[in-house]
């Protein structure tokens, strides 16, 4: 049996999830979303821009964007070329500029410039998938709609035996099933923080890991054994 002792049963995975939650909460009690924002609208824009880009890079560019376009109305009325110029350092800049402008337009036309508070409404916006919707609902509104699955959550949840899937939607569904709903929001924040500080993909610092005793990939020098 692997060190985590987590067979396929849901009951054992829930026990493992509780161990993981305790270890993460003790080590990272107060972590928050790394994307700098002052409103749900700013968080929504920043999260769309964070696709295939680091939060650090996004945080470096969004102040200019938010100063020029502080409201959905302002962004919706923007010139595409002007938005592209600001977000160009973030990669895929044409698609991202189109998405945030289109998202702002829909907020103006259908939601009275307010960021909606339901998953179905959020994913109806241009550039918004389940991950972005879950980030906004959890961070901006404290609504536990589902676990945010980014690359860190995907990788570390697999290492810990909480899922065996590589598909983000399946991973979200499986994590939702084994984690207490009250932990969904902070689980993602803490795992992402953990993945950036200790469980780094190509050079994990296993001796310093708070999950050392419940991870069956302890001491793994490479991604695979």
Q: Which residues, other chains included, contact 99 with Cβ-Cβ below 8 Å and sequence gap of 6+?
A: 48, 126, 127
Q: How far apart are CA 211 and CA 43, in angstroms?
A: 30
Which residue in 26, 131, 182, 216 is the catalytic one? Answer: 131
- Token pair, residue 17, equals 């999830």
Which residue in 150, 166, 182, 216 is the catalytic one? Answer: 150
Q: Is residue 88 among the annotated active site residues? A: no
Q: Which residues, other chains included, contact 216 with Cβ-Cβ below 8 Å and sequence gap of 6+?
A: 2, 3, 4, 6, 159, 160, 161
DSSP-derived secondary structure for 2-67: -TT---S-HHHHHHHHHHHHHHHHHH-TT---SS--SSHHHHHHHHHHTTTS-HHHHHHHHHHHHH
Q: Is residue 55 among the annotated active site residues? A: no
Catalytic residues, by residue number, are 131, 150
């Amino acid at each position: 049996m692997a060190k985590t002792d987590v067979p396929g049963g849901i009951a054992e995975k829930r026990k493992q999830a509780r161990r993981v939650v305790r270890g993460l909460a003790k080590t990272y009690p107060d972590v928050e979303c790394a994307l700098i924002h002052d409103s749900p609208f700013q968080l929504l824009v920043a999260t769309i821009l964070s696709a295939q880009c680091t939060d650090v890079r996004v945080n470096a560019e969004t102040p200019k964007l938010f100063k020029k376009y502080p409201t959905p109305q302002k962004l919706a009325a923007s010139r595409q070329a002007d938005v592209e110029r600001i977000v160009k350092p973030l990669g895929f800049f044409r698609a991202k500029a189109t998405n945030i402008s289109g998202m702002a337009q829909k907020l103006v036309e259908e939601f009275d410039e307010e960021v909606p508070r339901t998953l179905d409404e959020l994913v109806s916006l241009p550039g918004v998938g389940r991950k972005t919707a879950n980030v906004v609902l959890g961070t901006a509104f404290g609504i536990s709609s589902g676990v945010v699955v980014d690359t860190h959550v995907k990788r570390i949840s697999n290492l810990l035996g909480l899922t065996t899937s590589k598909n983000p939607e399946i991973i979200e569904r499986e994590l939702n099933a084994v984690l207490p709903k009250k932990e969904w929001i902070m689980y993602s924040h803490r795992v992402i923080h953990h993945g950036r500080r200790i469980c780094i993909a190509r050079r994990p610092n296993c001796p310093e890991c708070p999950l050392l005793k419940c991870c069956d990939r302890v001491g793994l020098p490479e991604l695979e054994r």
